[in-house]
């Protein structure tokens, strides 16, 4: 049944259609007859007793350079759409949090929002792994520089990262004999003012940081290995990593199947796990990506699988 879908995204002109997962979702939904509407988080507002947005109906082309046509713009309550998809990219700053508060209000009014805004707020993408310690490498979360130093002494080779960034920013690999060790710890923890995460370095990063997608509790059968460039220890595409699609390993499938049902029950329709070697390092829930890279290399219809799951949730 054709329906109106609202995508809350970054400015349309900033999206790179040749690799953008939200664009892939929109195209797959349009192919099934759904009407696609787009808005930015700045368009969200509460008026006359409901959460609404000024949104523009768009039609999508097959041209990645000139990928959409804009039509009419209307203000309507979010509950007037069959589904609302929160696809705004991080940073997860206060404005992002305020948007989730608005979306939670819309849910109370009857809107169907994915991923569920309450669940987005409750799942910091780095701290999300703490719920599943059986699948994580040795990890420390603290504001105390001395604890970080002791963790480095114990594990000899660690990765230290902030909790509020994406794309490989503010991630440092620190060895026990690193001459910059003290200053890195000082900068990251800001002398005890900022909470950070430290993890034992996983040497299998050389084979890639694997993005495993879970759609409504079920893993996509292919993952995307993001292989660091020479001399780099970050497996992020934004940091120059190479993307190679692969079938899931037995360990990756084990982790995805263990987490999938729990996360789906919380309204997390789409989740992206980051797995290095045998260990999970992040649980991404804000705007998981890698649809296009997997689709283009394997021909598996990730976006189609997603729209099928979305349609089931819309009933």
Which residues are catalytically annotated? 126, 161, 211, 226, 234, 274, 282, 284
Concatenating the DSSP letter of every residue in the chain gives: ---EEEEE-S-GGG--TTT-HHHHHHHHHHHTT-EEEEE-GGGEEEETTEEEEEEEEEEE-S-SSS-EEEEEEEEEEGGGSSEEEE-PPPP--HHHHHHHHHHHHHHHTT--EES-HHHHHH--TTGGGGG-GGG--SEEEES-HHHHHHHHHHHSEEEEEESS--TTTTEEEEETT-TTHHHHHHHHHGGGTS-EEEEE--GGGGG-EEEEEEETTEE-SEEEEEEPPTT-----GGGTPEEEEEEPPHHHHHHHHHHHHHHHHTT--EEEEEEETTEEEEEE-SS---HHHHHHHH---HHHHHHHHHHHHH-
Compute the residue count for the chain.
315
Q: Are 261 and 217 in contact (CB under 8 A)?
A: yes
């Amino acid at each position: 049944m054709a329906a109106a879908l609202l995508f809350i995204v970054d400015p349309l002109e900033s999206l790179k259609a040749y690799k953008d997962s939200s664009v892939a979702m929109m195209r797959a939904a349009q192919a099934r007859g759904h009407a696609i509407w787009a808005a930015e988080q700045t368009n969200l507002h509460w008026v006359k007793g409901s959460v609404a947005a000024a949104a523009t109906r768009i039609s999508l082309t097959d041209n990645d350079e000139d990928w959409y046509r804009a039509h009419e713009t209307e203000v309507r309550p979010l509950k007037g759409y069959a589904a609302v998809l929160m696809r705004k990219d991080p940073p997860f700053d206060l404005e992002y949090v305020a948007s989730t508060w608005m979306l939670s209000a819309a849910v109370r009014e009857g809107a169907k929002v994915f991923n569920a805004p309450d669940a987005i707020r409750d799942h910091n993408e780095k701290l999300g792994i703490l719920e599943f310690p059986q699948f994580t490498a040795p990890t420390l979360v603290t504001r105390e520089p001395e604890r970080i130093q002791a963790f480095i002494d114990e594990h000899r080779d660690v990765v230290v990262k902030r909790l509020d960034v994406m794309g490989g920013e503010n991630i440092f690999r620190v060895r026990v004999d690193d001459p910059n060790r003290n200053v890195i710890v000082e900068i990251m923890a800001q002398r005890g003012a900022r909470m950070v995460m430290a993890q034992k370095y996983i040497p299998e990063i050389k084979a890639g940081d694997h993005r495993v997608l879970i759609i409504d509790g079920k893993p996509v059968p292919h993952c995307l290995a993001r292989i660091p460039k020479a001399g780099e220890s970050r497996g992020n595409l934004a940091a120059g990593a190479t993307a190679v699609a692969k079938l899931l390993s037995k360990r990756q499938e084990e982790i995805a199947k263990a987490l999938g049902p729990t996360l789906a029950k919380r309204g997390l329709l789409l989740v992206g796990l980051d797995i290095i070697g045998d260990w999970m390092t992040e649980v991404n829930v804000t705007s998981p990506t890698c649809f296009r890279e997997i689709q283009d290399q394997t021909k598996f219809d990730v976006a189609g699988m997603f729209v099928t799951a979305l349609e089931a949730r819309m009933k």
